[in-house]
Amino acid sequence: MKVDTHVHTFHSGMTSLYPLSLIMRESYNTPEGVYRRAKARGMDLVAITDHDTISGALTIADRPDVIVGCEVTASFPNDNCDVHLNVLDITESQFADIDRLRSNITELLPYLKREGIFTSLNHVASGVNGQVTATHIAAMMPWIDALEVRNGSRLPSQNRTATVLAEACGKVGVAGSDAHTGKGLGQTWITADRATNRAEFMHELRLGRVRVEGRDGNYWRLAADIMNFAGGFYGERFVRLARKPWEWDRIAFVVGGIIGLPLISIPLVLAAVHFAGEKRFNESLLFDLVRRPASVRLPHAEAA
């Protein structure tokens, strides 16, 4: 069975990039659209992992081939460093606990372990996690089940760092597209050959009997995503205008957006800058992993 374990919908909220966060969503995918496209691209199971919510996944959770997941933003309380944890196959009550605890990762990780919730660390070598260091990584290792070793929106060098780290720490390697648009969805995935349903897939995943498949990210794919984002943004605005064409602010927004179309070239330049920064972060993290001992643990806690 195949599943793309890292996918977003519009339920992920507004983008975290200021000032775009004032007007643009993190994703314009709909849960139903994700389901249909994932199936069309050969995924046997469909996972939705929105940022800090399961509301999107719950809209299609009645289907036996849907995995309710979440990309959880968890914080280290001593320095406010954030990391992104992927949790799969969770209930509404478990999510409520996760959402309550995620501001303190020293409380969240033991909870996830006690509940037997499959947890992976997403895009460990990416600066999007915040200023993650070897100390942060060492603190998480006793508690997590897996690392995302192939992210469809990250550089091959970043994915190699995650792969080597997973192998060194004896963790399961998982893969996902990290799709915020429809273009990359289902292009990066994991396969469990022995599984025939969702429960069997999760069992095989916990045992590590899966393999990662699909593509890494690069500049051109990010550029294409930016263009798709722009299409989603303008599409949403035109729909809002069509519903209430008499509201002047909606008309002004659409007109202003059309005038500003040439500005789309700016994010394309920023995409190149972004990947240059990602490459530097990956290199600095590698140096830090080599330099520091990996013996740090969460304070006053022992992994089960």
Could you read off the pLDDT of 103-148 as tens digits, one per residue? 999 999 999 999 999 999 999 999 887 789 999 999 999 999 999 9
| Tokens linked to 138 | 């060492």
**Cα 295 to Cα 300: distance, rounded to the nearest angstrom:** 14
Per DSSP, 300 falls in state T
DSSP 39-101: HHTT-SSEEE--BT--HHHHTTTTSTTEEEEEEEEEE-TTT--EEEEEEES--HHHHHHHHHH
Q: Which residues contact 132 (CB under 8 A, 6 or more apart)?
A: 81, 83, 124, 285
DSSP 197-249: SHHHHHHHHHHT--EEEE----HHHHHHHHHHHHHHHHHHHHHHHHHSTT-HH
Q: What is the pLDDT of residue 240?
A: 65
Could you read off the pLDDT of 50-70 as tens digits, one per residue? 999 999 999 999 999 999 999
* % the chain with pLDDT above 70: 75
62: containing domain: 2-219+276-291
Could you read off the pLDDT of 268-282 as tens digits, one per residue? 666 667 678 888 899
In a domain? residue 34: yes
In a domain? residue 299: no
In a domain? residue 238: no
Give me the residues paired with residue 51 across strands: 71
CA dihedral in degrees (284, 285, 291, 297; nearest 10)? Answer: 150
For residue 193, is pLDDT > 60?
Answer: yes
Question: What confidence category does residue 24 fall into, taking pLDDT thresholds of 50, 70 and 90?
Answer: confident
In a domain? residue 224: no
In a domain? residue 251: no
In a domain? residue 259: no
- Residue 129, H or E segment: none
Evaluate whether 174 touches 210 at the Cβ level (below 8 Å).
Answer: yes
In a domain? residue 144: yes
**Cα 27 to Cα 106: distance, rounded to the nearest angstrom:** 30
User: Structural domain tally of the chain?
Assistant: 1
Could you read off the pLDDT of 247-266 as tens digits, one per residue? 656 555 555 555 555 555 65
In a domain? residue 167: yes
Q: Which residue has the tokens 């999107």?
A: 56
Evaluate whether 82 touches 75 at the Cβ level (below 8 Å).
Answer: yes
CATH of the domain at 33: 3.20.20.140
